[in-house]
Amino acid sequence: MSVIKKFQVTFDCAEPERVARFWCEVLGYVAAPPPEGFATWDDFNRTLPPAEQGAWFACSDPSGEGPRLYFQRVPEGKSAKNRVHLDVRVGTGLVGDERLATLEAECARLVALGATHVQTLYADEENESCIPMLDIEGNEFCID
């Protein structure tokens, strides 16, 4: 019998803390506490060489159910479509106009946080509506 394993989702980005705090707002996650012995992340970062300061940041689901999100600074920018993306499930169980209104309301909230609305994909015979978006560094995700 296989064992279910915990996992984290890792984001390559230019500004780890900024992107992490965006996703905390999107998902209701909380920032990880600073390492033991430090009152704040700034206190911890001041102990590191300048090139390593702010090199990573993490956040987690306060209920403990969702995966940990880890953000690491990389030197290169995003250059192509994501091979993996998050689907933020805000319309689960809803259909038609009720689903679309819920998605549009969440889209407006996320745009106010700095996300970009790419397009609205309307329901058809096979699929319900969803809204592809970009986070604050251009990573694709969908609200559905």
**Lowest-pLDDT choice from 2-6, 65-69, 71-75, 129-133:** 2-6
- The SS3 of residue 23 is helix
* pTM, entire model: 0.84
DSSP codes joined into one string, 68-101: EEEEEE-SSPP-S--SS-EEE-SSTT--HHHHHH
Give tens-digit pLDDT for 50-71: 989 999 999 999 999 999 999 9
pLDDT in tens, 70-117: 999 988 877 887 778 899 999 999 999 999 999 999 999 999 999 999
* Beta-carbon contacts of residue 96 (< 8 Å; ≥ 6 apart): 123
Report the C-alpha gap between 91 and 106 in whole angstroms: 10
